Amino acid sequence: MKVKTIMLEGETGYIAIISREPKNILCEIKDQNSKFLALHHVSTNDRDDQISMAQCIQYQLDGCKGTNSMIHDYLRFITIFAD
* Planar angle of CA 56, 39, 51, nearest 5 degrees: 35
What is the pLDDT tens value at each position of the chain, 83 positions in all?
778 899 999 989 999 999 999 889 999 999 988 899 899 999 999 999 999 999 999 999 999 988 888 999 999 999 999 87
What is the pLDDT, as a whole number, of residue 9?
95
- Beta sheet of 5-9, edge-to-edge order: 5-9, 15-20, 24-30, 36-43
Give me the phi and psi of 7, to 5 degrees please. -115, 125
What is the pLDDT, as a whole number, of residue 76?
95
Rg (CA), the chain: 12
Buried b (16+ CB within 10 A) or exposed e, 57-66: bbbbbbeeeb
